[in-house]
């Protein structure tokens, strides 16, 4: 399925940037293309896109108007293009319409037009004046910098701010990274794209002093950005963090997600990614045209299919690379070499490897967002993990959630509908709370269901309920504001007849409540329909907490996003069911504190919520899904076996998943070793409990579990699939089993 289209509406440009891949690289097909797209071609393009979206039931697609310089088309013709796209595609699915420009021609007339047709605008800017002037000039040598800054001033005006999609900056190590970062940030963009200049093995990027200048440059920006508290979404860094955690790649530059994008040229020709222009003349061409061929026919061609091939489509070197999950072999075009084609690592391989090490914490130099000390790592390997190690895992999970939420926020729809409005007001409130009371935002983002929500919003193709899901951002913001005791007013989306406030509760509404309800928030609580919602209000269902030994945990049987791969969440617990859970959780906590105090302390440091599941065997965990941040476990109803065994097992798996976001433990080319490691690590905790439980049955269980762990350790060691961290981790597990034998 194709979910994103780049529509070239003008093939010439008013700038003459010397790093431009359209005019200055191998492909010179622009000379053969019509200057401007024709009306008939636009209608054919819209028809093909609509047919494809309808045939595949796509909830949403993105169309990016591009060039050359798209604004050279002029306001009148642009209006015609936008009218065709909106009238043909809006009835079929949600259309995210964007335009990428150099900004030179952007004026109020065009901004008003983009407002009318809800077009979000991305602008190219390489940084401060010195950096931008290095490449981005007019043909006569004049600077484009003042023109771009004037365009950005327009986009920052309150009436056009919602049109501002972000900035695209091409990296040049000759520029000062901090000056570039500060100049870009000063334009208040909602998101930043830092792009490696297009290059191939035939035409490698300049590396005057050798080494990894691109990673060094990006590493300095990353360090500053992290220490600034990530004030803006930077797609390259967020993509790496997300991909490392099994989440979406957020773009085609890194990660293993399929690339579902096609280009339509001004002559109606279907093309592959624009970046391929850097490989050789004619590289992006498919020979097919919108007049003669449907999207499915283009998508089935070997070129586009190869970009959806994930790990299997990479060369041997990349497949066996320890950071392949994060890097994904880099941008497809950057792998090209005459002779071997695209079956190579990226020409930026050393930089990408070094950058992956910087952005996704791992052993090595400082400057990492999150690290585990060797002692903390070893404490986790031996079984429970000390509370500081578990807290570090939770903190890494919070960073991942922040990155995912930032990307959801950077792609909010512009439509005039109630849900779109709720999402935008939600983002504004969340930003305000984050500035004034960041701890309150952290509290809500740390709720494990927030990461599930963000991940669902980012996964293409957008589901039919995508806009309702995006509007949930308002519920997240409202929860944060209530935590902070701040005053606010905003619309909340109605889902299944209720308003959802994550980690707080659900307000059930009467019949036919509409799509959103406007609420007020203050230090006195929530006001809906002019009435204060109190704890006694029969419409209000709070998220309850239960004692868990010396701690308390949320029992979340309400959150709309509490389900995840392999879980079948139960509905609201009532009466004796709730009492049963409450009693059993407290009993389990007390028993663990007495029998396995190290595991009890680890649970106390990292467990925030329990999600009650329906009875019955769990569904099989789907490989490749998001490794959810630490914090929640799904548990079946308390039965004769007691909750403590299930709790220990599920929390071990949650810790291992969180640890894997920091350190790769097994080679990603095979799923089996990962499964064996998970099972063995879960058994390590269970065996520890049976070890101290009196009775023959417990002794037998302990014996069976410890034998199984030994067998798994042997299989993992013999498989040769463990990374150096994996070898160390398994050695820690072995030390625990050996210590039992010595007892």
Among 2, 6, 7, 20, binds ligand SF4 (CB under 6 A): 20
Q: Which residue, 192 or 419, is less far from ligand SF4 as judged by CB?
A: 192
* 176-205 residues near ligand SF4, rule: CB under 6 A: none
Among 2, 6, 9, 22, binds ligand SF4 (CB under 6 A): 22
Q: Which residue, 60 or 103, is less far from ligand SF4 as judged by CB?
A: 103
Contact 709, 683 (CB under 8 A): yes
From 11-19, 445-453, 480-488, 565-573, span contacting ligand SF4 (CB under 6 A):
11-19
Q: Which two tokens stand for residue 536?
A: 């006694």
E strand or H helix that includes residue 471 = helix 466-484
Q: Which residue, 120 or 353, is less far from ligand SF4 as judged by CB?
A: 353
E strand or H helix that includes residue 641 = none
Write down the least CB distance from residue 534 to ligand SF4, Å: 56
**Separation between Cα atoms, residue 444 and residue 430, nearest integer Å:** 10
Among 9, 17, 376, 656, binds ligand SF4 (CB under 6 A): 17
Q: Which residue, 317 or 534, is less far from ligand SF4 as judged by CB?
A: 317
**DSSP of 400-443, one letter per residue?**
HHHHHHHHHHHT-----SHHHHHHHHHHHHHHHHHHH-HHHHHH
Write down the least CB distance from residue 22 to ligand SF4, Å: 5
Query: The dihedral of CA 662, 667, 669, 674: what is its sign?
Result: negative
E strand or H helix that includes residue 339 = none
Write down the least CB distance from residue 151 to ligand SF4, Å: 12
Q: Which two tokens stand for residue 461?
A: 């193709």
Among 7, 15, 381, 423, binds ligand SF4 (CB under 6 A): 15
Among 28, 227, 292, 317, binds ligand SF4 (CB under 6 A): 317
Q: Which two tokens stand for residue 558?
A: 């309400």
Write down the least CB distance from residue 325 to ligand SF4, Å: 9
Among 6, 13, 167, 441, binds ligand SF4 (CB under 6 A): 13
Contact 303, 297 (CB under 8 A): no
The secondary structure of residue 485, as a DSSP letter, is: T
Q: Which residue, 195 or 698, is less far from ligand SF4 as judged by CB?
A: 195
**Separation between Cα atoms, residue 38 and residue 552, nearest integer Å:** 65
From 210-218, 319-327, 387-395, 476-484, span contacting ligand SF4 (CB under 6 A):
319-327
Write down the least CB distance from residue 667 to ligand SF4, Å: 12
Write down the least CB distance from residue 322 to ligand SF4, Å: 8
Write down the least CB distance from residue 277 to ligand SF4, Å: 10
* 322-361 residues near ligand SF4, rule: CB under 6 A: 323-324, 327, 329-330, 345-346, 349, 352-353
Write down the least CB distance from residue 670 to ligand SF4, Å: 16
Using the structure block, give the residue that is written with the tokens 């420009």: 101
Write down the least CB distance from residue 333 to ligand SF4, Å: 13
Q: Which two tokens stand for residue 386?
A: 């000390």
**∠ at Cα 473 (626, 622), nearest 5°?**
15
473 binds ligand SF4 (CB under 6 A): no
69 binds ligand SF4 (CB under 6 A): yes
Cβ-based neighbour number of residue 57 at 10 Å: 12
What per-residue string of b and e applies to 495-509 under the rule 16 or more CB within 10 Å gives b? beebbbbbbbbbbeb
The secondary structure of residue 34, as a DSSP letter, is: -
**What CA–CA distances, in Å, run from 69 to 17, 37, 101, 192?**
12, 12, 6, 20
Tell me how many residues contact ligand SF4 (CB under 6 A): 26
Q: Which residue, 106 or 517, is less far from ligand SF4 as judged by CB?
A: 106
Strands (E), 222-351: 233-234, 261-264, 269-271, 285-289
**Separation between Cα atoms, residue 21 and residue 471, nearest integer Å:** 38
Contact 95, 84 (CB under 8 A): no
Cβ-based neighbour number of residue 741 at 10 Å: 8
Q: Which two tokens stand for residue 213?
A: 């200048």
* 646-675 residues near ligand SF4, rule: CB under 6 A: none
Q: Which residue, 288 or 355, is less far from ligand SF4 as judged by CB?
A: 355
Contact 115, 125 (CB under 8 A): no
444 binds ligand SF4 (CB under 6 A): no
Contact 387, 353 (CB under 8 A): no
Write down the least CB distance from residue 321 to ligand SF4, Å: 3
How would you classify residue 188: left for phi > 0, otherwise alpha for psi between -120 and 50, otherwise beta? left
Q: Which two tokens stand for residue 349?
A: 């391989």
What per-residue string of b and e applies to 592-611 under the rule 16 or more CB within 10 Å gives b? bbebbebbbbbbbbbbbbbb
The secondary structure of residue 531, as a DSSP letter, is: E
Query: For helices 643-662 and 672-691, what crossing angle results, to 10°?
Result: 140
From 13-21, 405-413, 716-724, 728-736, span contacting ligand SF4 (CB under 6 A):
13-21
* 121-180 residues near ligand SF4, rule: CB under 6 A: 124, 136
102 binds ligand SF4 (CB under 6 A): yes
318 binds ligand SF4 (CB under 6 A): yes
Among 180, 264, 321, 546, binds ligand SF4 (CB under 6 A): 321
Q: Which residue, 196 or 318, is less far from ligand SF4 as judged by CB?
A: 318
Q: Which two tokens stand for residue 701?
A: 């269980």
Write down the least CB distance from residue 172 to ligand SF4, Å: 13
Q: Which residue, 66 or 370, is less far from ligand SF4 as judged by CB?
A: 66
Among 44, 49, 67, 268, binds ligand SF4 (CB under 6 A): 67
Q: Which residue, 321 or 480, is less far from ligand SF4 as judged by CB?
A: 321
Which 3 state secondary structure label does DSSP give 164?
A: strand
From 18-26, 32-40, 226-234, 732-740, span contacting ligand SF4 (CB under 6 A):
18-26
Write down the least CB distance from residue 326 to ligand SF4, Å: 8
Q: Which residue, 16 or 428, is less far from ligand SF4 as judged by CB?
A: 16
Q: Which residue, 353 or 402, is less far from ligand SF4 as judged by CB?
A: 353
Q: Which residue, 267 or 537, is less far from ligand SF4 as judged by CB?
A: 267
Q: Which residue, 17 or 290, is less far from ligand SF4 as judged by CB?
A: 17
Kindly list the residues in this chain that would bind ligand SF4 in the complex (CB under 6 A): 13, 15-17, 20, 22-23, 67-69, 102, 124, 136, 317-318, 321, 323-324, 327, 329-330, 345-346, 349, 352-353
């Amino acid at each position: 399925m194709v979910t994103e289209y780049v529509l070239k509406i003008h093939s010439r440009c008013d700038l003459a940037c010397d790093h431009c891949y359209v005019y200055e690289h191998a492909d010179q097909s622009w000379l053969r293309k019509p200057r401007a797209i024709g009306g008939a071609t636009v209608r054919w393009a819209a028809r093909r896109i609509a047919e494809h979206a309808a045939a595949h039931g796509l909830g949403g697609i993105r169309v990016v108007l591009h060039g050359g310089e798209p604004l050279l088309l002029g306001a009148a013709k642009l209006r015609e293009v936008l009218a065709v796209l909106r009238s043909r595609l809006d009835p079929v699915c949600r259309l995210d319409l964007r335009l990428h420009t150099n900004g030179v021609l952007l004026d109020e007339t065009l901004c008003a037009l983009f407002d009318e047709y809800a077009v979000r605008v991305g602008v190219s800017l390489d940084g401060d004046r010195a950096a931008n002037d290095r490449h981005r000039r007019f043909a006569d040598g004049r600077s484009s910098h003042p023109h771009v800054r004037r365009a950005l001033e327009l986009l920052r005006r309150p009436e056009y701010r919602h049109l501002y999609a972000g900035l695209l900056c091409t990296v040049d190590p000759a520029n000062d990274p901090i000056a570039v970062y500060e100049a870009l940030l000063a334009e208040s963009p909602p998101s930043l794209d830092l792009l490696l200049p297009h290059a191939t093995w035939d035409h490698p990027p300049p590396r005057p002093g050798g080494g990894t200048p691109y990673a060094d440059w990006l590493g300095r920006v990353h360090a500053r950005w992290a220490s600034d508290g990530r004030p803006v979404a930077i797609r390259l860094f967020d993509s790496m963090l997300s991909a490392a955690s099994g989440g979406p790649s957020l773009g085609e530059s890194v990660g293993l997600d399929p690339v579902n994008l096609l280009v339509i040229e001004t002559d109606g020709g279907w093309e592959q990614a624009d970046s391929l222009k850097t490989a050789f003349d004619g590289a992006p061409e498919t020979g097919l045209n919108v007049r003669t061929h449907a999207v499915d026919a283009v998508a089935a061609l070997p070129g586009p299919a190869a970009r959806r091939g994930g790990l299997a489509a990479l060369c041997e070197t990349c497949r066996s690379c320890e950071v392949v999950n994060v890097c994904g072999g880099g941008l497809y075009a950057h792998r090209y070499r005459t002779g071997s084609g695209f079956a190579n690592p990226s020409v930026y391989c050393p930089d990408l490897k070094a950058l992956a090490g910087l952005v996704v914490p791992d052993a090595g130099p400082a400057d990492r967002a999150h690290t585990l000390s060797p002692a903390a790592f070893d404490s986790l390997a031996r079984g429970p993990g000390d509370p500081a190690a578990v807290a570090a895992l939770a903190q890494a999970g919070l960073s991942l959630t922040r990155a995912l939420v930032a990307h959801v926020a950077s792609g909010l729809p512009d439509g005039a509908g109630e849900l779109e409005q709720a999402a935008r007001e939600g983002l504004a409130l969340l930003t305000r709370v984050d500035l004034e009371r960041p701890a309150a935002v952290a509290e809500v983002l740390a709720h494990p269901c927030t990461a599930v929500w963000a991940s669902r919003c980012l996964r293409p193709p957008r589901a039919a309920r995508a806009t309702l899901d995006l509007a949930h951002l308002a519920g997240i913001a409202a929860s944060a504001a209530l935590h902070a005791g701040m005053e606010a007013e905003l619309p909340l989306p109605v889902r299944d007849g209720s308003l959802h406030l994550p980690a707080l509760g659900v307000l059930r509404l009467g019949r036919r409540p509409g799509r959103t309800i406007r609420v007020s928030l203050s230090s006195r609580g929530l006001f809906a329909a002019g009435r204060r919602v109190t704890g006694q209000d029969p419409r209000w269902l709070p998220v309850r907490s239960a004692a868990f030994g010396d701690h308390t945990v949320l029992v979340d049987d309400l959150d709309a996003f509490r389900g995840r791969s392999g879980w079948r969440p139960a509905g609201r617990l009532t009466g004796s069911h709730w009492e049963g859970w409450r009693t059993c959780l407290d009993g389990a906590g007390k028993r663990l504190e007495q029998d396995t105090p190290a595991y009890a302390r680890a649970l106390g440091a990292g467990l925030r919520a329990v999600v009650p599941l329906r009875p019955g065997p769990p569904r099989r965990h789907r490989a490749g899904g998001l490794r959810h941040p630490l914090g929640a476990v799904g548990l079946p109803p308390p039965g004769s076996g007691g909750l403590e065994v299930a709790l220990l097992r599920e929390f071990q798996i949650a810790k291992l998943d969180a640890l894997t976001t920091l350190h790769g433990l097994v080679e990603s080319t095979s799923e089996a070793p990962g499964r064996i490691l998970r099972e063995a690590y879960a058994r390590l905790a269970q065996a520890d409990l049976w070890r101290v439980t009196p009775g023959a049955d417990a002794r037998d269980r302990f014996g069976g579990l410890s034998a199984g762990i030994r067998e798994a350790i042997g299989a993992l060691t013999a498989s040769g699939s463990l990374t150096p961290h994996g070898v160390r981790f398994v050695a820690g597990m072995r030390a625990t089993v050996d210590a039992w034998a010595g007892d």
